Structure formats: structure tokens, C-alpha cells
DNA sequence: CGACTACGTCAAGTCCACTTGATGTCAAGC
DNA sequence: GCTTGACATCAAGTGGACTTGACGTAGTCG
């Protein structure tokens, strides 16, 4: 039962920004995108829940591996509105992301290995190598989307 | 001695564009960036050397793994102006790229593993997990650049 | 009380990698 | 010879992820 909002501490924009390593303007931007939320003080100042730091860390980590804010928002939207996200919530997202990561890792590894091969044979400059002929590369792959790897 | 321009065939923009799977406008753009080159016919039409296809494949492959056009240009600029690039030329670039790829793969793998861990412990929502505390995440890593992984 | 800093809003600007549009030209087919 | 399509140039637009600027307010310190 971690649904109980344990110790909800509210932090000011500057504090959040500094600890999360983002600009205050970025917080505004994320808020306008619906990625994070805030409440207001009587003087109209924003206040962020402490766990916003976690969300921001999650956003940065996801972005870092090339996931768009849109997709990140999609995942965050599926978290519960009220109460803290449960282990199950994060697990679902993590699994989703992990599959994505696995796919990317596979692509990168394949490409790296191809390049490694090329180091041995210099294929990109010689006709003899199967990878050197752009037509073959084109033909090897039905669609126009995935060209080289 | 592959320096001898074997069979230099010149292709029209439309042909190059189709075979490489890019728009003609992209060719213009790349040319303006100095990534590819062309000569002109008497009627001011562009003509591309056949091996431009190889360069384009290389650009796409590199881009695909997140390398910017700027960096790609940097690599291409180090190829010889005249004659075909040698095996050694491509090898150098490939090695450079491969190191880059290895780094990215490491990041992704680390992130995935962290997420996998989270699936087990639900850390992102519980105080007990070392990864859950954003302050620790911040503290674990001197700079502001690398936040989560 | 006054100064200063952090914060508020909103529009506009930036960077990258292109694409779109306007307008004019070259070349091949009938 | 004329139409059609591919091509030329150049300016401007697009989209994602922010940042910057202009301008006004809130709260804190001496």
C-alpha cells in the first residue's frame, strides 16, 4: 500500500531545476506539454512535488536513448493521476522501454559489426565486398526505410 | 592501387535520389553542406558520380545511429579529394564510428539493465531502492550532463 | 522601506535536417 | 514544334525541443 502520499514535500522551480539539472524554462515547457505538474502558491508561484525529480530523471534517461517527449508523455499518461505510481506502473513502462532499447541495441550492434567487418576487408571501397554495392544494399531490403543495416 | 578511377559513371539527380532512397531536395541540401559533390552538364544539370550512392548509404547508416551531419561531414572531409577512398580511409572512419557505437551500446545496455532491475524491485516508486532517490542519482555523477545512467 | 532576486506570462527566436513553394529552364517524346 | 517532366535557384516553412526576450509581480534581506 504505497498509495498513501508519504511525505509530500513541495519544491520551488529553482530548486527542482537545479537538482534535476534542467532550466526553469524547461520545466515550463514540460508542464505545458503535460509531462510534469505543479500547484500554485497564493502568490501564483509554482510548486512541484518532490517526486517530480524522479519524473525528470526518467524523462532525461529516456530522452538520452532517443525516445521522444511524445512517447515519454504517452507512458507517463498511463500512470495513475492520484497517489504515487506503483511498482507495477513503473514495471510496465520499463518493460516497454526495455524492448525498445533491445531493438536499438541490436541495430547498433549489427551496424558496428558490419563496420568491423569493413575494417578487415575495406569493403566500402572495393567492388568485391557484398556491402560495397549500393544496389545490393538496396535490393537486400524491400522497403526504402532501412537502407544500410 | 585502386586509385585509378575505374569506371566513373555519372548519374542524374533523379536516379541517385531513387536508388539512394532520398529526395532530390536532400541531395541539394547535402551538396550545400559539402557532404556530396556533383559536376554540371552543359545545360547546368547536376551529375553525380556513381559512388555518391556509397557516400549516401554511409550517411544514412551513420545518421541512423545518431551521428550528426556535421560529424559525418568531418569524417568525409578526411577522405582524399582525388581518387577513390582506400580501404585504409574507410577503416579509419569505421573504427571511429565503431567506438562511438560501442559507447552508445554501453549506455543503452546500462539503462536497460537498470530498468530490468526496476522491474524486480519497483525501485522507481519506493524509497528503499538506491536508484529511486534523485539526489543519489545526482550525487553519483559529478557533472550535470549524465543524469540517470 | 527599498533593492534585488526569483518567478510569472507570452511571443518569438534557435538549431538541425530537411521540405515546400514559386518561378524559370532544359531535354526527350510524339 | 510543342508539350511534358525532370531539373535549376532561392526563400521560406516545418517539427521537435527548447531558449531568449520583454515586461510585470512576489517575497526576502538589510
Footprint of strand C on the protein (CB under 7 A): A 12-15, 17, 24, 28, 38, 44-46; B 22-23, 25-26, 28-29, 41-45, 63, 68-70
Q: Alpha-carbon distance B91 to B95, whole Å?
A: 6
Show Cβ contacts of residue A6 under 8 Å, excluding neighbours closer than 6 positions. A84, B127
CATH T-level topology, domain B1-85: Multidrug-efflux Transporter Regulator; Chain: A; Domain 2 (1.10.1660)
For an interface test with A, the pick among B87, B128, B130, B138 (most A C-beta atoms closer than 10 Å) comes out as: B87
Residue B56 near chain A (CB below 8 Å) = yes
For A76-93, the pLDDT digits (tens) are 888 776 556 666 676 677
Which of 24-53 (B) contact A at CB < 8 A? 53
Burial B130-142 (b: 16+ CB within 10 A, else e): ebbbbeebbeeee
Contact A138 B89 (CB under 8 A): no
**Residue range B47-73, pLDDT digits in tens:** 999 889 888 988 887 787 778 899 889
Q: Does A110 touch chain B (CB under 8 A)?
A: no
Q: Percentage of chain B with pLDDT > 90?
A: 29
Listed as ranges, residues in chain A with pLDDT below 50 are 1-4, 6, 119-149
Whole-number pLDDT of residue B81: 64
CB atoms B124 and A95 under 8 Å: no
Position B147 pLDDT exceeds 60: no
How far apart are the C-alpha atoms of B72 and B68, rounded to whole Å?
A: 6
In chain B, positions 30-59 with C-beta closer than 7 Å to nucleic chain D are 38, 40, 44-46
Q: What local confidence, expressed as pLDDT, does residue A125 receive?
A: 39
Q: Which residues pair with A39 in a beta bridge?
A: A47
- The set of cell numbers assigned to A132 is 560495397
DSSP string, A85-100: PPHHHHHHHHHHHHHH
Tell me the average pLDDT across B74-85: 74
| Per-residue pLDDT tens over the stretch B115-146 | 555 444 444 433 334 443 333 333 333 223 22
- Check CB contact of A148 with chain B, cutoff 8 Å: yes
d(C-alpha B133, C-alpha A28), whole Å: 23
Q: Which of the four pLDDT bands, split at 50, 70 and 90, describes residue B88? A: low
CA-based nearest residue in chain B for residue A119: B91
Q: Provide the residue ranges of all domains of chain A, joining segments of one domain with +.
A: 7-85, 102-149
Which residues on B lie below 8 Å from A86 (Cβ)? Answer: 122, 125
* Residue A11 bridge partners (DSSP): A48
**Is B101 in contact with A94 (Cβ distance < 8 A)?**
no
Q: What is the pLDDT of residue B80?
A: 72
For domain A7-85, give the fold.
Multidrug-efflux Transporter Regulator; Chain: A; Domain 2 (1.10.1660)
CA of B44 to C1' of D7 (A): 9
Q: How far is the CA of B65 from the C1' of D5 (A)?
A: 36
Instruction: Decide if A117 contacts A123 (C-beta within 8 A).
Output: yes
Amino acid at each position: 500500500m504505497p498509495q498513501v502520499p508519504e511525505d509530500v514535500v513541495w519544491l520551488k522551480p529553482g530548486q527542482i531545476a537545479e537538482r534535476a539539472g534542467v532550466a526553469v524554462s524547461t520545466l515550463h515547457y514540460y508542464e505545458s506539454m503535460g509531462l510534469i505538474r505543479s500547484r500554485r502558491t497564493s502568490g501564483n508561484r509554482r510548486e512541484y512535488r518532490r517526486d517530480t525529480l524522479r519524473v525528470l530523471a526518467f524523462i532525461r534517461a529516456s530522452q538520452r536513448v532517443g525516445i521522444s517527449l511524445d512517447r515519454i508523455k504517452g507512458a507517463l499518461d498511463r500512470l495513475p493521476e492520484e497517489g504515487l505510481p506503483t511498482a507495477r506502473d513503473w514495471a510496465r513502462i520499463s518493460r516497454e522501454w526495455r524492448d525498445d532499447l533491445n531493438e536499438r541495441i541490436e541495430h547498433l550492434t549489427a551496424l558496428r559489426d558490419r563496420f568491423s567487418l569493413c575494417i578487415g576487408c575495406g569493403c566500402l571501397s572495393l567492388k568485391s565486398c557484398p556491402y560495397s554495392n549500393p544496389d545490393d544494399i538496396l535490393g537486400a531490403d524491400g522497403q526504402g526505410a532501412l537502407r544500410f543495416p
